[in-house]
């Protein structure tokens, strides 16, 4: 027993201190928010070049408006490699979650992303200290499911914010959906939603849950959860990094303000 106590003391504090401290360093290969350099995306490119949009496997880039839909983006970097002017790059910015679907569409000239805002006062009062979620894999490949499960480990410990997965929808405040919502999962998803007592929320995690991902347009998928349920939080990524998910949830609960700082009282 003494050896175990000594080993634990040597290990020290293992849970990240985010958001009260700076976010942990992300690996060099991490692909955060894609960015356009308007100066490099020359006037002639705006009118004629379609290299980035032609290379995108999920149709996330609109060549006419020179915009990219983060809800569709799978962060593959094909657009970056295809751009002849080097105007596309992927930053290390993990902050991607938004409350509105339209806020995920960013243009060449847009410098900032409209990040998720907190729930209204009533909903924040209900869920701000205790948010229980039922996770539904609606045809996912397992990547989003694996990365969101990491948040329950000692390194992330989202339980310290009152966030927890529960086994029964009867005990949940909402659902976190991954996967493109296959037709085989539609009924199960609807039944899960109906079993959750109101008021309740829906979180779409990953490009598949938001817009179908690489399966969009297939006759056996519904191209995301929004086709059948109202969504309160969109978390882009393929899969979303655990830090992206945690940041989005804490913003939804009002624990991180618009300025990125910890809200007073948390």
151, 242 Cβ separation under 8 angstroms: yes
Query: What would the two tokens of residue 120 be?
Result: 């209204």
- Which pLDDT value is given to residue 231? 98
Same domain, 82 and 143: no
Out of 26-30, 114-118, 257-261, pick the least confident: 257-261
Within a domain: residue 43?
yes
Q: Residue 20 pLDDT > 80, yes or no?
A: yes
Give Cα separations from 72 to 6, 54, 60, 121, 241 (angstroms): 48, 15, 5, 31, 16
**Domains contained in the chain, number:** 2
**Residue ranges making up the domain that contains 246:** 121-252
Last residue of a domain, one of 92, 109, 135: 92
Average pLDDT of the segment spanning 59-67: 87
Radius of gyration of the chain (CA): 20
Burial (CB count <10 Å: 0-12, 13-18, 19+), residue 67: middle
Read off the pLDDT of residues 120-167 as tens digits, 9 standing for 90 and up.
Answer: 999 999 999 999 999 999 999 999 999 999 999 999 999 999 999 999
Under a CB-based contact definition with an 8 Å cutoff, are residues 177 and 138 in contact? yes
Q: How confident is the model at residue 82 (pLDDT cuts 50, 70, 90)?
A: very high
CB 226 within 8 A of CB 235: no
Rounded distance between C-alpha atoms, residue 222 and residue 240, angstroms: 20
Q: Are 137 and 174 contained in the same domain?
A: yes
Mean pLDDT of 5-16: 75
In this structure, the chain runs to a length of 266
Q: From start to end of 55-97, where are the E strands?
A: 61-62, 67-69, 88-90
Domain end (from 44, 74, 92): 92
Which band of pLDDT confidence, cut at 50, 70 and 90, is reported for residue 260? low
Can you name the residues that pair with 88 across neighbouring β-strands? Answer: 36
| Residue 259 domain-assigned (yes or no) | no
Tell which residue, 148, 125, 145, has the closest CA to residue 137: 145
What is the CATH classification number for the domain harbouring 46?
A: 3.30.70.20
- Report the C-alpha gap between 249 and 237 in whole angstroms: 15
Q: How many other CB atoms are found less than 10 A from the CB of residue 48?
A: 10
- With CA atoms as reference, report the closest residue to 13 among 162, 165, 160, 164: 160
| Its pTM surpasses 0.95 | no
For residues 179 and 217, membership in a common domain is answered with: yes
Q: Is the pLDDT of residue 262 over 80?
A: no
45: confidence class by pLDDT, cuts 50, 70, 90: low
pLDDT (tens digit per residue) in 191-233: 999 999 999 999 999 999 999 999 999 999 999 999 999 999 9
Rounded to the nearest integer, the mean pLDDT of the chain is: 91
């Amino acid at each position: 027993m003494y050896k175990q106590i000594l080993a634990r003391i040597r290990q020290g504090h293992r849970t990240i201190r985010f958001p009260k401290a700076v976010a942990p360093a992300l690996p060099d290969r991490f692909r955060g928010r894609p960015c356009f350099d308007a100066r490099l995306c020359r006037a002639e490119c705006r009118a004629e070049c379609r290299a980035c949009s032609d290379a995108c496997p999920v149709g996330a880039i609109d060549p006419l408006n020179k915009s990219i839909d983060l809800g569709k983006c799978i962060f593959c970097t094909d657009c970056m490699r295809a751009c002849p002017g080097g105007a596309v790059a992927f930053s290390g910015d993990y902050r991607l979650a938004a409350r509105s679907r339209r806020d995920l569409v960013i243009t060449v000239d847009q410098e900032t992303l409209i990040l998720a805002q907190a729930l209204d006062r009533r909903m924040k009062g209900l869920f701000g200290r205790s948010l229980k979620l039922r996770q539904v894999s609606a045809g996912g490949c397992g990547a989003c499911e694996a990365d969101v499960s990491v948040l329950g480990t000692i390194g992330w410990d989202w339980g310290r914010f009152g966030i927890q997965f529960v086994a029964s929808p009867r005990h949940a405040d909402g659902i976190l959906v991954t996967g493109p919502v296959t037709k085989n999962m539609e009924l199960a998803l609807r039944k899960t939603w109906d079993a959750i007592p109101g008021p309740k929320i829906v979180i779409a995690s990953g490009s598949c849950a938001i817009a179908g991902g690489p399966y969009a347009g297939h006759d056996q998928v519904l191209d995301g959860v929004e086709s059948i349920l109202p969504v309160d939080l969109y978390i882009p990524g393929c899969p979303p990094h655990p830090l992206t998910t945690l940041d989005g949830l804490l913003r939804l609960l009002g624990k991180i303000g618009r300025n990125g700082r910890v809200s007073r009282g948390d």
